[in-house]
Protein backbone atom coordinates (compact mmCIF):
# COMPACT_ATOMS: atom_id res chain seq x y z
CA UNK A 1 0.00 0.00 0.00
CA UNK A 2 1.17 3.54 -0.74
CA UNK A 3 1.43 5.40 2.57
CA UNK A 4 -0.28 8.70 3.20
CA UNK A 5 2.13 11.62 2.77
CA UNK A 6 0.30 14.72 4.01
CA UNK A 7 3.45 16.84 4.03
CA UNK A 8 5.38 15.20 1.20
CA UNK A 9 8.27 12.78 1.71
CA UNK A 10 11.56 14.67 2.10
CA UNK A 11 11.26 17.22 4.90
CA UNK A 12 14.03 19.32 6.43
CA UNK A 13 14.20 20.20 10.13
CA UNK A 14 15.41 23.69 9.33
CA UNK A 15 17.84 25.65 11.48
CA UNK A 16 16.93 29.19 12.54
CA UNK A 17 19.46 31.69 11.13
CA UNK A 18 20.66 34.44 13.45
CA UNK A 19 22.68 37.57 12.78
CA UNK A 20 26.27 37.76 14.08
CA UNK A 21 24.79 39.61 17.09
CA UNK A 22 22.39 36.72 17.74
CA UNK A 23 19.10 38.27 16.63
CA UNK A 24 16.64 36.55 14.32
CA UNK A 25 17.70 36.89 10.67
CA UNK A 26 14.54 36.60 8.60
CA UNK A 27 16.25 37.53 5.33
CA UNK A 28 18.68 34.63 5.63
CA UNK A 29 15.88 32.34 6.78
CA UNK A 30 14.00 33.09 3.58
CA UNK A 31 17.10 32.52 1.47
CA UNK A 32 17.84 29.20 3.16
CA UNK A 33 14.22 28.07 2.81
CA UNK A 34 14.22 28.92 -0.90
CA UNK A 35 17.49 27.04 -1.42
CA UNK A 36 16.20 23.94 0.37
CA UNK A 37 13.02 23.86 -1.70
CA UNK A 38 14.15 25.15 -5.11
CA UNK A 39 17.61 23.60 -5.24
CA UNK A 40 17.43 20.89 -2.61
CA UNK A 41 14.12 19.30 -3.51
CA UNK A 42 12.69 19.49 0.00
CA UNK A 43 8.94 18.95 -0.01
CA UNK A 44 8.44 20.30 3.50
CA UNK A 45 10.20 22.49 6.04
CA UNK A 46 9.83 22.01 9.78
CA UNK A 47 10.49 25.24 11.70
CA UNK A 48 10.89 25.95 15.40
CA UNK A 49 11.92 22.44 16.35
CA UNK A 50 14.93 21.47 18.42
CA UNK A 51 17.17 21.93 15.37
CA UNK A 52 15.62 25.40 15.07
CA UNK A 53 16.66 26.20 18.66
CA UNK A 54 13.06 26.60 19.81
CA UNK A 55 14.01 26.53 23.51
CA UNK A 56 15.80 29.87 23.03
CA UNK A 57 13.44 31.70 20.64
CA UNK A 58 10.55 33.84 21.82
CA UNK A 59 6.92 33.28 20.83
CA UNK A 60 7.09 36.41 18.66
CA UNK A 61 10.25 35.16 16.92
CA UNK A 62 8.60 31.80 16.25
CA UNK A 63 5.59 33.44 14.59
CA UNK A 64 7.78 35.81 12.58
CA UNK A 65 9.86 32.91 11.28
CA UNK A 66 6.79 30.94 10.17
CA UNK A 67 5.38 33.99 8.41
CA UNK A 68 8.64 34.80 6.62
CA UNK A 69 9.33 31.24 5.47
CA UNK A 70 5.73 30.72 4.33
CA UNK A 71 6.06 33.84 2.19
CA UNK A 72 9.40 32.67 0.80
CA UNK A 73 8.30 29.20 -0.31
CA UNK A 74 4.91 30.39 -1.53
CA UNK A 75 3.12 27.06 -1.47
CA UNK A 76 5.99 25.16 -3.12
CA UNK A 77 6.51 23.13 0.06
CA UNK A 78 4.61 22.38 3.23
CA UNK A 79 5.58 24.54 6.21
CA UNK A 80 5.23 22.93 9.63
CA UNK A 81 5.74 24.78 12.88
CA UNK A 82 6.98 23.27 16.10
CA UNK A 83 4.63 24.36 18.88
CA UNK A 84 5.52 21.94 21.66
CA UNK A 85 5.97 22.96 25.27
CA UNK A 86 5.57 21.47 28.72
CA UNK A 87 2.38 23.52 29.23
CA UNK A 88 -0.80 22.58 27.36
CA UNK A 89 -2.21 26.12 27.47
CA UNK A 90 1.00 27.56 26.09
CA UNK A 91 1.11 24.88 23.39
CA UNK A 92 -2.42 25.80 22.30
CA UNK A 93 -1.42 29.48 22.12
CA UNK A 94 1.64 28.63 20.02
CA UNK A 95 -0.46 26.41 17.77
CA UNK A 96 -3.01 29.13 17.09
CA UNK A 97 -0.26 31.70 16.48
CA UNK A 98 1.49 29.38 14.01
CA UNK A 99 -1.73 28.70 12.13
CA UNK A 100 -2.41 32.43 11.85
CA UNK A 101 1.17 32.97 10.63
CA UNK A 102 0.59 30.57 7.73
CA UNK A 103 1.74 27.15 8.91
CA UNK A 104 0.34 24.22 6.93
CA UNK A 105 0.78 21.87 9.87
CA UNK A 106 2.04 21.68 13.44
CA UNK A 107 4.73 19.56 15.08
CA UNK A 108 3.64 18.84 18.65
CA UNK A 109 6.08 17.12 20.99
CA UNK A 110 5.06 15.11 24.03
CA UNK A 111 5.02 17.32 27.15
CA UNK A 112 8.41 17.00 28.75
CA UNK A 113 9.99 16.94 32.19
CA UNK A 114 6.72 16.41 34.10
CA UNK A 115 6.41 12.93 32.53
CA UNK A 116 2.59 12.84 32.30
CA UNK A 117 0.82 9.45 32.18
CA UNK A 118 -0.69 8.26 28.91
CA UNK A 119 -4.19 9.61 29.62
CA UNK A 120 -2.69 13.07 30.11
CA UNK A 121 -0.51 12.74 26.99
CA UNK A 122 -3.58 11.85 24.95
CA UNK A 123 -5.61 14.70 26.41
CA UNK A 124 -2.79 17.15 25.64
CA UNK A 125 -2.67 16.22 21.97
CA UNK A 126 -6.45 16.28 21.65
CA UNK A 127 -6.62 19.76 23.20
CA UNK A 128 -4.19 21.08 20.61
CA UNK A 129 -5.88 19.30 17.70
CA UNK A 130 -9.28 20.62 18.77
CA UNK A 131 -7.97 24.20 18.94
CA UNK A 132 -6.77 24.53 15.33
CA UNK A 133 -7.82 23.80 11.78
CA UNK A 134 -4.53 22.42 10.42
CA UNK A 135 -3.14 18.89 10.76
CA UNK A 136 -0.80 17.77 13.53
CA UNK A 137 2.39 15.74 13.40
CA UNK A 138 2.98 14.20 16.83
CA UNK A 139 6.61 14.08 17.93
CA UNK A 140 7.60 10.90 19.77
CA UNK A 141 11.08 11.37 21.23
CA UNK A 142 11.20 9.76 24.68
CA UNK A 143 14.96 10.14 24.95
CA UNK A 144 14.42 13.89 25.39
CA UNK A 145 10.91 14.13 26.86
CA UNK A 146 11.11 11.16 29.23
CA UNK A 147 7.73 9.85 27.99
CA UNK A 148 6.75 7.57 25.12
CA UNK A 149 3.58 7.90 23.13
CA UNK A 150 2.50 4.29 23.60
CA UNK A 151 1.03 2.21 20.79
CA UNK A 152 -2.46 2.09 22.27
CA UNK A 153 -2.43 5.86 22.75
CA UNK A 154 -1.43 6.37 19.12
CA UNK A 155 -4.15 4.02 17.93
CA UNK A 156 -6.76 6.14 19.71
CA UNK A 157 -5.26 9.46 18.60
CA UNK A 158 -5.22 8.28 14.98
CA UNK A 159 -9.01 8.54 15.00
CA UNK A 160 -8.85 12.33 15.41
CA UNK A 161 -9.40 14.02 12.01
CA UNK A 162 -6.54 16.48 12.48
CA UNK A 163 -3.92 14.10 13.88
CA UNK A 164 -2.34 12.85 10.70
CA UNK A 165 1.35 12.10 11.23
CA UNK A 166 4.13 11.13 13.64
CA UNK A 167 7.76 12.23 13.74
CA UNK A 168 9.35 9.05 15.02
CA UNK A 169 12.42 9.22 17.25
CA UNK A 170 11.42 6.37 19.57
CA UNK A 171 13.94 3.85 18.19
CA UNK A 172 11.29 1.11 18.30
CA UNK A 173 10.73 -0.14 14.78
CA UNK A 174 8.31 -2.85 15.88
CA UNK A 175 5.96 -0.39 17.56
CA UNK A 176 6.21 2.01 14.63
CA UNK A 177 5.46 -0.73 12.10
CA UNK A 178 2.51 -1.85 14.21
CA UNK A 179 0.96 1.62 14.24
CA UNK A 180 1.63 2.06 10.53
CA UNK A 181 -0.12 -1.26 9.80
CA UNK A 182 -3.18 -0.46 11.92
CA UNK A 183 -3.77 3.25 11.23
CA UNK A 184 -3.57 5.89 8.54
CA UNK A 185 -0.93 7.85 10.42
CA UNK A 186 1.96 9.02 8.24
CA UNK A 187 5.23 8.08 9.93
CA UNK A 188 8.25 10.31 9.32
CA UNK A 189 11.66 9.22 10.54
CA UNK A 190 13.35 11.77 12.75
CA UNK A 191 16.50 9.65 13.10
CA UNK A 192 18.73 9.80 10.03
CA UNK A 193 20.01 6.23 10.38
CA UNK A 194 16.42 4.91 10.32
CA UNK A 195 15.18 6.91 7.32
CA UNK A 196 15.42 3.95 4.94
CA UNK A 197 14.37 1.18 7.37
CA UNK A 198 11.23 3.05 8.42
CA UNK A 199 10.42 3.94 4.81
CA UNK A 200 10.70 0.26 3.88
CA UNK A 201 8.02 -0.76 6.39
CA UNK A 202 5.53 1.83 5.20
CA UNK A 203 6.85 5.14 6.49
CA UNK A 204 5.93 8.35 4.72
CA UNK A 205 9.39 9.91 4.62
CA UNK A 206 11.79 11.74 6.89
CA UNK A 207 12.29 14.96 8.81
CA UNK A 208 16.01 15.42 8.35
CA UNK A 209 18.50 17.71 10.07
CA UNK A 210 21.24 16.65 7.64
CA UNK A 211 19.02 17.94 4.82
CA UNK A 212 20.00 21.47 5.83
CA UNK A 213 23.37 20.81 4.17
CA UNK A 214 22.77 17.81 1.88
CA UNK A 215 19.08 17.81 0.91
CA UNK A 216 19.55 16.06 -2.43
CA UNK A 217 21.55 13.23 -0.89
CA UNK A 218 18.87 12.60 1.72
CA UNK A 219 16.06 12.72 -0.82
CA UNK A 220 17.95 10.41 -3.22
CA UNK A 221 17.44 7.52 -0.79
CA UNK A 222 13.66 7.88 -0.98
CA UNK A 223 13.67 8.49 -4.73
CA UNK A 224 15.62 5.30 -5.39
CA UNK A 225 13.35 3.24 -3.17
CA UNK A 226 10.22 4.65 -4.86
CA UNK A 227 11.73 3.76 -8.25
CA UNK A 228 12.02 0.13 -7.12
CA UNK A 229 15.81 0.31 -6.87
CA UNK A 230 16.26 -1.07 -3.37
CA UNK A 231 19.95 -1.76 -3.95
CA UNK A 232 20.45 1.83 -5.08
CA UNK A 233 18.49 3.09 -2.08
CA UNK A 234 20.71 1.08 0.25
CA UNK A 235 23.86 2.40 -1.39
CA UNK A 236 22.57 5.97 -1.24
CA UNK A 237 21.77 5.48 2.45
CA UNK A 238 25.20 4.06 3.16
CA UNK A 239 26.92 6.97 1.42
CA UNK A 240 25.31 9.41 3.85
CA UNK A 241 26.43 7.58 6.98
CA UNK A 242 29.85 9.21 7.51
CA UNK A 243 28.30 12.69 7.41
CA UNK A 244 25.29 11.56 9.46
CA UNK A 245 27.63 10.13 12.09
CA UNK A 246 29.61 13.36 12.44
CA UNK A 247 26.52 15.57 12.44
CA UNK A 248 24.19 13.51 14.61
CA UNK A 249 26.24 11.04 16.67
CA UNK A 250 29.41 12.89 17.60
CA UNK A 251 28.25 14.12 20.99
CA UNK A 252 27.29 17.55 19.70
CA UNK A 253 23.72 18.71 19.05
CA UNK A 254 22.70 18.61 15.39
CA UNK A 255 22.09 22.36 15.49
CA UNK A 256 25.73 22.97 16.38
CA UNK A 257 27.17 20.73 13.66
CA UNK A 258 24.69 21.98 11.06
CA UNK A 259 25.44 25.63 11.68
CA UNK A 260 29.16 24.95 11.76
CA UNK A 261 29.04 23.22 8.38
CA UNK A 262 26.67 25.74 6.81
CA UNK A 263 28.98 28.54 7.89
CA UNK A 264 31.98 26.78 6.36
CA UNK A 265 30.05 26.46 3.12
CA UNK A 266 29.17 30.15 3.12
CA UNK A 267 25.45 29.42 3.53
CA UNK A 268 22.92 31.21 5.78
CA UNK A 269 23.22 30.11 9.39
CA UNK A 270 24.82 32.47 11.88
CA UNK A 271 25.73 31.56 15.46
CA UNK A 272 23.96 29.28 17.90
CA UNK A 273 22.35 30.73 20.99
CA UNK A 274 23.55 29.90 24.47
CA UNK A 275 23.62 27.53 26.23
CA UNK A 276 24.88 25.94 22.99
CA UNK A 277 28.42 26.71 21.92
CA UNK A 278 29.77 26.75 18.35
CA UNK A 279 31.63 23.82 16.87
CA UNK A 280 35.40 24.13 17.05
CA UNK A 281 37.65 24.35 13.99
CA UNK A 282 38.67 20.69 14.04
CA UNK A 283 35.04 19.58 14.13
CA UNK A 284 34.13 21.86 11.24
CA UNK A 285 37.08 20.59 9.20
CA UNK A 286 35.90 17.01 9.71
CA UNK A 287 32.34 17.90 8.77
CA UNK A 288 33.51 19.67 5.63
CA UNK A 289 35.62 16.68 4.56
CA UNK A 290 32.67 14.29 5.03
CA UNK A 291 30.36 16.69 3.18
CA UNK A 292 32.73 16.93 0.22
CA UNK A 293 33.09 13.15 0.15
CA UNK A 294 29.29 12.86 -0.11
CA UNK A 295 28.36 15.67 -2.51
CA UNK A 296 31.68 16.94 -3.88
CA UNK A 297 33.61 20.19 -3.18
The catalytic residue positions are 139, 167
Alpha carbon distance 52, 16 (integer Å): 5
Q: Which DSSP string do the residues of 203-248 spell out, in sequence order?
A: --EEEESGGGT-HHHHHHHHHHHHTT-HHHHHHHHHHHHHHHHHHH
CA distance linking residue 228 with residue 199, whole number of Å: 13
* Alpha carbons 284 and 258: distance in angstroms, whole number: 9
| 222, 206 contact by CB (below 8 A) | yes
Q: What is the SS3 assignment for 297?
A: coil
Residue 285's SS3 state is: helix
Enter the DSSP assignment of 20. T
Amino acid sequence: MTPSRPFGRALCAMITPFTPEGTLDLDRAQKLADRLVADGGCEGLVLNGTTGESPTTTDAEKSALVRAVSEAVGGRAAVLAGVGSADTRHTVELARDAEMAGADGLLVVTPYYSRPPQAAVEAHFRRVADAVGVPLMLYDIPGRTGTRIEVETLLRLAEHPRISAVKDCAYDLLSSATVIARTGLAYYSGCEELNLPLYAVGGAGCVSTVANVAPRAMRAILDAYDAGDTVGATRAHQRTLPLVTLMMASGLPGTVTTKGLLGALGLPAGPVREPLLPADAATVDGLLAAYEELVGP
